[in-house]
Amino acid sequence: MVMACALPCAGLAAEPQERTQLTMDSGRPRTPEQVAVRFEHALLGFRVLPEEQKIEGDATLEFIALDPLPRLVLELDHQLGIERIEIDGAALPPSAWRNPEGRLSIDLPQPLAKGERVRARIVYAGKPRVAQKAPWDGAFVWSKAPDGQPWIATSVQGEGCDLFWPCIDHPQGEPLVVEQRITVPAPLVAAGNGVLLGVDERDGWRTYRWRAQSPNTYAIALNIGPYEELRGEYRSRHGNTIPLHFWHLQGRGPQARELFGEFPLALDFFEQVIGPYPFADEKMGVVETPHLGMEHQTINAYGNDYEKDEYGYDWLLHHEFAHEWFGNQMTNVDWDEMWLHEGFGSYMQPLYLQWLRGDMEYHASLLKMRAGVANRFPLVSGKSQVVEAVYSDEIGPGHDIYFKGAWILHTLRGLIGDEAFFTSVRRLVYGRDDPAPGNFQPRYASTREFVDIVNDVTGRDYDWFFDVYVYRPALPQLLAERDATSLRLRWKTPDDLPFPMPVDVRVGGRVVTVPMDGGQGHVELPADTHYTLDPHSKLLRDLPHIDAYREDAAARAKAAREKAGEEK
């Protein structure tokens, strides 16, 4: 997900909509029935009616029972009325299903034994929720392109897939294969996940048929508008060819072509530094949307209005594209582990700048992130969380999953070195050290797994590093005391946790690395000699001047809001 709104958000609803907490939460613990199935295939039919802001859905879902199963349990927003449910082709009586709060329970005609398959067809329709502020408030965006034609998008990371299709709304609820049949009024275009199988047109309607493998549940997206398409190919350093596609609004050809020109460079960076593009047999796809952006697998939403930042590239495109590796290829096992998506994805931007232009822009980008680190909540709480809690700055880590996460990776890289760092990241993403096209599959991962990988790759125990940085909110403090002949250093950590982090000290014109065994160390320091702690900014640590800046900025923003309110 993106970090801040750069454009006016289109498609606002006039009135707040009725909602249930179950529907608005994404990532609640799966029910026993959901744990007991493997989601094999989803065929999702959508007829989209722009003038009515309505959808007609027809979903056929196939599961294999991993344990004996008396019923299916899914999630579907109760605002979407269910017209019919069939099991293996036979219609069920309405008494066989219930969906009062958005958790759809379907009694099977006969309980399934372990290993048996079941196919459920769910026909439904209604007006789906309208996003108040997409993509941070998930749902549909019903907008208009500059020429007045319908421009429609979905963005449901925060609230989940159940806002418009029946699913298991949990990170581990991914179907192995998803096919979409998206029917829209001609001549609108529906850009989708995966590979385009064909387009059928009849009676003023177009049906686009798409097929994708192992997509994230929230990555399934509808993107509909008066699009033009740019196509190309990228010859990978791994020997395969990757299709490139960009669907942009009509009349924006020059800007779109310039952005399209960034695709090969971004691909080359990720393939060289991390590993093969995970969905090369489908496409690298981007679609222009009326909201800022979202990491929809192989069809990333882009709404940054072609604006480049001070570093001369489109950070939004790059950030969302990073999620193809950190989010879509490697998916966290629980939303509590969301820093594995956002922290790694955010670190890719300064890393890209270092790869592209050098160290100055790398450090400048990281310094900008450092000012956003709040340290109010740990990145990982150790218990199952819903998405909204994790992304909240008030009750969860919020922006820290981006900025603090990126800084943790920067510090880890400096500690263990480039070879061990990138080997560890590669193994986390692919489950192996030698990924090549065709020898890996999308996978789930956790922070504990990453810690174990780092320990295995380095041959050392770095649990202490993650215990302080990931599982505690407060940053370690580096205390320095000077006497006549030396400088004594000591780490102060939350809960007095061990923290043997080495510290570089510049003494005059030379840099000395202090080992800090037991969290303490010292360096000889002649009288009147100037010293600088951590002169190359390798360490994520408590910095009072950053805290003072944050407090002052917050006070000034509050005063500005109050003044604006008085002037109204």
If you ran DSSP here, which 8-state letter would residue 145 be given? -
DSSP bridge pairs for 332? 445
**Cα–Cα distance measured from residue 399 to residue 390, given in angstroms and rounded to the nearest whole number:** 9
CB within 8 Å of 218: residues ≥ 6 apart: 26, 138, 156, 157, 160, 161
CB distance 300 to 320 below 8 Å? yes
Give the full edge-to-edge strand order of the sheet including 97-98: 69-75, 103-112, 97-98
Cβ count near 404 (within 10 Å): 29
CB distance 445 to 470 below 8 Å? no
CB distance 379 to 470 below 8 Å? yes
Provide the residue type at 3 as one letter.
M
**Cα–Cα distance measured from residue 165 to residue 75, given in angstroms and rounded to the nearest whole number:** 8
Provide the residue type at 468 as one letter.
V
Catalytic residue among 282, 320, 337, 449: 320
Structure tokens at 413: 């890289």
Q: Which of 362, 347, 315 is nearest to 428 (CA)?
A: 347
Q: What is the DSSP string of 405-461?
A: HHHHHHHHHHHH-HHHHHHHHHHHHHSSSS--TTS---EEE-HHHHHHHHHHHHTS-
CB distance 210 to 224 below 8 Å? no
Catalytic residue among 313, 402, 430, 462: 402
Handedness of CA 170, 173, 177, 179 (dihedral sign): negative
Active site residue 18: no
The answer to whether 291 is annotated as binding is: no
Q: Hunting for tokens 């942009």 — which residue is that? A: 248
Residues in the chain: 568
**Cα–Cα distance measured from residue 241 to residue 302, given in angstroms and rounded to the nearest whole number:** 23
Helix (H) or strand (E) holding 289: none
Active site residue 567: no
The answer to whether 319 is annotated as binding is: yes
Looking at the chain, the number of H-run helices and the number of E-run strands are: 13, 28
Provide the residue type at 375 as one letter.
N
Cβ count near 41 (within 10 Å): 15
Q: Hunting for tokens 């890209």 — which residue is that? A: 352
**Residues with catalytic annotation?**
320, 402
Q: List binding-site positions for Zn(2+).
A: 319, 323, 342
Q: List binding-site positions.
A: 319, 323, 342
